[in-house]
Chain A
């Protein structure tokens, strides 16, 4: 890739240069990231793991292509017929997906486009409690019971 002119990053990170065989331009070759798992939260999935992202995709699609396995968490599980009607809406095909989890509110305390905005109080609670392992456990347990109670109780 093009970049890093005058930067200390390549030397510190061990990133090597390579000459473009067509133009001769010196570029950087970044080693591939190959995580074991990509866990991405989407608005809609079906039970086969086909997934739709409504709204911005950030780097979620790239992550599913890089990882060895993909876990989809979804606001809603919808029928496969809906996916078949508009296959162009699917950004992750089911064959790449190891597991699908129905998880309404699964992006909280962060936002999920078309579903909910940032939960500022929840974010503050998470920042405070996640400083310790016990705190994080308490936070997660409280969130679990919140989610079980349904969205009307938040």
Chain B
């Protein structure tokens, strides 16, 4: 693979910007959107979309507020800073109830292991009775993934350990539409994941080689629209500290607790 995200900071920066804009383009104006804890890229993407094409979206913050407008973005996506500028609070219990009555349009979720059907493992690697790695768990995803109208997954690693033919454990599933990675956008069509677009400079062959389940080689695959000047400029304004880069090890200032989760 010509993309060395672990060691090449420029490649990692480009991938992070591309992922942020791809995620932002998933939010439509007027929708209610929710992201989970430990979700830097979706958080940045939502603020980007709200600044550009989705100013009337409603952000229900996992930190417990509605439509916050903080000065700068925190590195923790559960930081009380994400209540600044909000006119009302909305607790996690309230958010779960809202999901349960079908009141959330778009949900961004992570995924440690994902299969062809778009099912997600966030629980164990190896035998669940004696796991090789204990993952952090779905954090409510097993309930809200099937209740959101649309679910978009992001993951900063695209490899054969992430995209597998068989999950070690099914934590959650339901309503998945797309997956955004550093290489491509995958789309769930008729119950199976296929490549929708490969990012500029990445070939469909590379995507397939880094995916552990079969992809339809006969499909027409487009090139992901690169970030526009407007998108890049807005990213700099809303995220001057580079929170969007914090998930990439090549760009990280300090070792993070979940490094192990990215490399089992």
Residue from A7, A8, A111, A127 within 8 A of B79 (CB atoms) = A111
Check A58–B91 contact: CB distance below 8 A: yes
Which residue of chain B has the shortest Cβ distance to A56 in the bound complex? B64
* 42-100 of chain A: CB within 8 A of chain B: 55-59, 61-62
Contact call B91/A57, Cβ cutoff below 8 A: yes
In the assembled complex, which residues on chain B have CB atoms less than 8 Å from the CB atom of A111? 79-81
B257 contacts partner chain A, Cβ-Cβ < 8 Å: yes
Closest B residue to A127 by beta carbon equals B257
B249 on the interface (CB 8 Å rule)?
Answer: no
Cβ-defined partner of B64 (8 Å) among A12, A58, A118: A58
Taking CB atoms, residues of chain A closer than 8 Å to B83 are 55-56, 113
CB of A58 within 8 A of CB of B173, answer: no
CB pair A2–B64 under 8 Å, yes or no, is no
- Report B-chain residues with C-beta under 8 Å of the C-beta of A62: 93
B interface, by DSSP: helix, strand, loop or mixed?
Answer: loop
Docked pose: A59 CA to B63 CA in angstroms: 11
**B76 interface hit (Cβ, 8 Å):** yes
B92, B171, B173: which contacts A5 (Cβ < 8 A)? B173
Please tell me if the beta carbons of A57 and B147 are within 8 angstroms of each other in the complex: no
Query: Are the C-beta atoms of A59 and B79 separated by less than 8 Å?
Result: no
Q: Mark A1-37, 1 if CB is under 8 A from B, else 0.
A: 1111111110010000000000000000000000000
Minimum CB distance partner of A117 in chain B: B81
Q: Is B169 an interface residue (CB 8 A)?
A: yes
| Contact B143 A4, beta carbon cutoff 8 Å | yes
What residues of A have a CB within 8 angstroms of the CB of B110 in the complex? none
Chain B residues with CB under 8 Å of A113's CB are: 80, 83
Nearest chain A residue, comparing its CB with the CB of B94: A57
- Convert B168-189 into 0s and 1s, putting 1 for each residue whose CB lies closer than 8 angstroms to a CB of A: 0111111000000000000000
Q: Say if the beta carbon of A124 comes within 8 Å of chain B.
A: yes
In this assembly, does B142 line the interface, its C-beta being within 8 Å of a C-beta of chain A? yes
Partner among A1, A8, A124 whose Cβ is within 8 Å of the Cβ of B171: A8
Q: List 9 A-B contacts (CB under 8 A).
A: A2-B147, A3-B100, A6-B146, A7-B142, A12-B128, A56-B83, A56-B89, A117-B79, A118-B74
Q: Which residues from chain B sit less than 8 Å from chain A, CB to CB?
A: 63-65, 74-76, 78-81, 83, 89, 91-93, 100, 119, 123, 128, 138, 142-144, 146-147, 169-174, 254, 257
Interface residues of chain A, those whose CB is within 8 Å of chain B, are: 1-9, 12, 55-59, 61-62, 111-113, 117-118, 124, 127
